[in-house]
Amino acid sequence: MKVLIAGGGIGGLTAALFFQKAGIEVRVFEKVPEIRHLGVGITLLPHAVKTLDMIGLMEPLDALGIRTDRMLFRTRQGQDVWDAPRGLAAGYDVPQITAHRADIHQVLLDAVADRLPEDALTLDAAFEAVEQTDSGVVATFRRSDGSTIEATGDVLIGADGIHSGVRRALNPDEGAPRWSGLMLWRGSTDWPRVLDGHTIINSGPISRKFIFYPIGPGKTPDTQLMNWACVVRQAEPGAPTPGQESWDREAKAEVLHPILKDFTVPETDIRALVDATPVFWDFPMCDRDPLTTWTKGRVTLLGDAAHPMYPFGANGSAQAILDAEAIARHCAGLSDDPAGALAAYQDERLDKVNQVVAGNRTGGPERVIDEVERLAADLPGQRFEDIEDVLPMADRDAIVNGYSRLAGFAADQLR
């Protein structure tokens, strides 16, 4: 079997490495002419780390990132809603790792360069069209100079993101991504260590949130590369999108100053954190309505091309990584039936991931903060004496750990 992949991001490269491990020939086509150090922080949850460990990547990822072993969910007033261990501290057999997206991408690129043939990754090759024949697929990719590349294979996988050309070819009438009505700002900067240096602090509900956590070593022993994100609702879900859904619009700290006044974070000065970030970006948080099928014959979708989702719950990259392992496994098991392999992959993954997309639209596990703030809205200063009087542990657990099970990373699911 020969596999063609459109898109050389985290999902596409992970899939290429799983295909290589299975002894399946694979070629990846990426639209950008050169790989640049882009993005900010990503949380690799235990199911993603365990999957990447199957292709021998946990050690390099562990070396460049941070093992985060504690999660704090809080109200905007600074009151704890959920304080729980993560990763190894929570009983998993692999760590939870936070890292810069570009560093994760580089680990994958290095592995591809080391394990696959030199021509396995082609840059400056944007997907343009695909034709299915009785014996395979013929995919056309366009270079920035206008010339084209034609590649033949047994299957084509679209791993080319929320604006996927492959998805558009399969669903020509779908239209643009759907805006959540939320604007997201994200950045990272060198910053003094907070608490033990292994904690994620997430404050506020879906409509007004600030979260920060370390993603790598700092410039000094007392600092870390600190990732932060701020979310603010600006419209109702489905409103016209105000701009591009990409990381290319530089933002100004002054815009966030009045918003940051809403948060009480005792451990650090979040306004100073934002002001210390030399360059950061904003973009409208978008996804797409779930599809009832990703696959047409010998063509299918993976990662954000199949199921773009809001970042609540930190599952976007994780679900792409799980897709990658699943599709390679089915192609290896049904190598004489390429279309059947893609159908089996879809049968395993589509319904599960669509449930995660739906869960993220309501805030994922972070919805527990929304519930507490809603129930405490009439209390003086919206402050409570005992969280149990507002939302008992059983109800909070149902939200937070219920999401873990939905997304496939409850501890007993990974044993």
pLDDT tens digits, one per residue of 112-161: 999 999 999 999 999 999 999 989 999 999 999 999 999 999 999 999 99
Q: Give, for 87, the enclosing helix (H) or strand (E).
A: none
Q: Which long-range contacts (CB under 8 A, 24 or more apart) does 125-128 make?
A: 125/29, 125/30, 125/31, 125/149, 126/31, 126/165, 127/6, 127/7, 127/29, 127/31, 127/158, 127/160, 127/164, 127/165, 127/166, 127/169, 128/165
Would you give the end-to-end CA distance of the chain in angstroms? 32
List all residues 6 or more positions away from 378 whose beta carbon is below 8 Å from its beta carbon: none
DSSP codes, 140-187: EEE-TTS-EEEEEESEEEE---TT-HHHHHH-TT--SPEEEEEEEEEE
CB atoms within 10 A of CB 155: 26
Q: Provide the strand spans (E) within 204-266.
A: 208-217, 223-233
List all residues 6 or more positions away from 290 whose beta carbon is below 8 Å from its beta carbon: 307, 354, 357, 358
CB of 341 within 8 A of CB of 155? Answer: yes
- Average pLDDT by stretches of 10, the chain with 415 residues: 97 98 98 86 96 97 96 97 97 96 96 97 98 95 97 98 97 94 95 97 97 97 97 94 64 94 97 96 93 98 98 96 98 96 98 97 97 96 96 98 96 87
Give CA–CA dist 257/230, Å, rounded: 11
The reported pLDDT for the residue numbered 248 is 57
Amino acid at 208: R
Q: Which two tokens stand for residue 46?
A: 């235990």
- Closest by Cα among 42, 407, 87 to 213: 42
Which residue matches tokens 């192609």?
331
The reported pLDDT for the residue numbered 241 is 82
The reported pLDDT for the residue numbered 36 is 83
Give CA–CA dist 143/208, Å, rounded: 41
Alpha helices (H) along 89-138: 101-115
Q: Is 298 helix (H, G, I), strand (E, B) or coil?
A: coil
Angle between helices 10-21 and 316-333 (to 10 degrees): 30
CB atoms within 10 A of CB 230: 26
- Domains defined along the chain, listed by start: 2-38+101-176+288-361 (3.50.50.60)
Q: CA angle, corner 290, sides to 284 and 296, nearest 5?
A: 125
What separation in angstroms does the CA of 14 have from each of 73, 159, 198, 294, 321?
31, 10, 26, 19, 6
The reported pLDDT for the residue numbered 268 is 97
